[in-house]
Amino acid sequence: MSIQPSKTEEVREELRAASSIAVLTGAGISEESGIPVFRGSDGLWKQYRAEDLATPEAFARDPRLVWEWYDWRRSRIAAARPNPAHEALVLLENHCPGFALITQNVDGLHDLAGSRHVIKLHGDIWTLRCQHCGTVKSDRRVPLPEIPPRCACGGLLRPGVVWFGEALPPAAWQAAVQAAESCALFLVVGTSAVVYPAAELPMLAKHRGAKLIEINFEPTALTPLADYSFVGKAGEMLPQLVS
Ligand code: BV8
Ligand code: ZN
């Protein structure tokens, strides 16, 4: 999928000239790395929706089922490598002084690609938190030796991610809002923009006068708001805009 040459040149110039750039990524940026997205035909787990499993209630009711889902996702993610879209954002970070990368993804592929400061709005699938004593630890074992995993204190360990109905980590949310409010250009990549409050960030940036650029496989609620909207695969389009 190639973008109309005129638009490409215009956006390349916008990216070059922008004094500060904030980026919001969603599951779509990891799709070409082989990690299924949440919504759409090949959604994560056919008979379940993320909204049904990524909740404290689902975990309280059936920690084994929720952990089976996360253990399956961890094994998918462990086999995945960053794709050219992740790598293009590392290039952008290296060339733009005021750069902020905000992600809804929990897969850690931005860190693996070499992005230095990643604002994780929804946590990290490679960390576990004890429901009882609060211990937080990194755990990259795939598959997990026991499901559900237990803490040394005997408490139940949960994935270190933000579930529906849970507040986002305050520090991450504040950093994301600060970046959205102050950037000259806001780039949204691979998100359906249906999950809040993350989906507010591009609108906040736009209302503060930032240029809004969207790259997504299909149009979203943000598309009418965007100064430039590219419909297609991030791994193909982002490198064309950034190289
Ligand atoms: C909160 C967990 C309050 C980690 C996730 C009614 C209306 C509005 C809001 C609500 C409502 N009812 C409830 C809410 C709030 C709720 C919400 O927004 N619900 C939605 C579903 C309506 N939000 C919350 O509950 C949040 N918390 O509000 O707390 C509060 C406040 C204070 C104190 C206490 C409580 C918490 C939200 C976080 C939920 N956790 N995940 C995990 O397991 O991953 S959200 C989940 O969706 C993932 O994190 C994911 O990142 C996120 C967003 O999805 P996307 O990344 O956009 O992925 P999606 O599949 O949807 O889209 C991918 C896109 O990519 C598609 O458009 C596709 O076309 C495109 N694509 C595909 N391939 C490619 C591509 N694009 C480019 N290239 C490709 N190759
Ligand atoms: Zn514990």
Alpha helices in 138-218 (DSSP H): 170-182, 200-207
pLDDT digits (tens, 9 = 90+) for 98-136: 999 999 999 999 999 999 999 999 999 999 999 999 999
- CATH fold for domain 5-35+82-122+168-242: Rossmann fold (3.40.50)
Q: What is the DSSP string of 103-158?
A: E---S-HHHHHT-S-EEETTEEEEEEEETTT--EEE---SS-SSSS-B-TTSPBEE
The preferred substitution site among 195, 203, 215 for testing ligand 1, maximizing ligand atoms within 8 Å of CB, is 195
The residues lining ligand 1, judged by C-beta closer than 6 Å to any ligand atom, are 26-28, 31-32, 37-40, 50-51, 54, 104-106, 122, 161-167, 190-192, 194-196, 216-218, 220, 233-235
In this prediction, residue 43 carries a pLDDT of 59
Angle at 34 between CA 130 and CA 84, to 5 degrees: 105
The ligand minimizing its distance to the Cα of 236 is 1
Please list the residues that pair with 157 across neighbouring strands: 130
- Counting residues of the chain whose pLDDT is more than 90, the rounded percentage is 89
Indicate if 122 belongs to the active site.
yes
pLDDT interval class at 20 (50, 70, 90): very high
Report the length, in residues, of the chain.
243
Q: Is 199 helix (H, G, I), strand (E, B) or coil?
A: coil
pLDDT bucket at 198, cuts 50 / 70 / 90 = very high
Are 150 and 157 in contact by the 8 Å Cβ rule? The answer is yes
Return the amino acid letter for 48: Y
Say if residue 191's pLDDT is above 90. yes
Residue 87: beta bridge partners? Answer: none
What does the domain layout of the chain look like in residue ranges? 5-35+82-122+168-242, 36-79+124-161
The pLDDT value given to residue 40: 64
CATH number 3.30.1600.10 given to 36-79+124-161: yes
Crossing angle of helices 170-182 and 200-207, rounded to 10°:
30
Centre of ligand 2 from the C-alpha of residue 166, in Å: 20
Q: List CB contacts of 159: < 8 A, sequence separation 6 or more.
A: 66, 67, 70, 106, 123, 125, 127, 128, 129
Checking DSSP bridges between strand 118-120 and strand 98-103, what pairing results, if any?
parallel
Any bridge partners for residue 25, and if so which?
Answer: 103, 189
Q: Which of 196, 225, 232, 221 is nearest to 211 (CA)?
A: 225
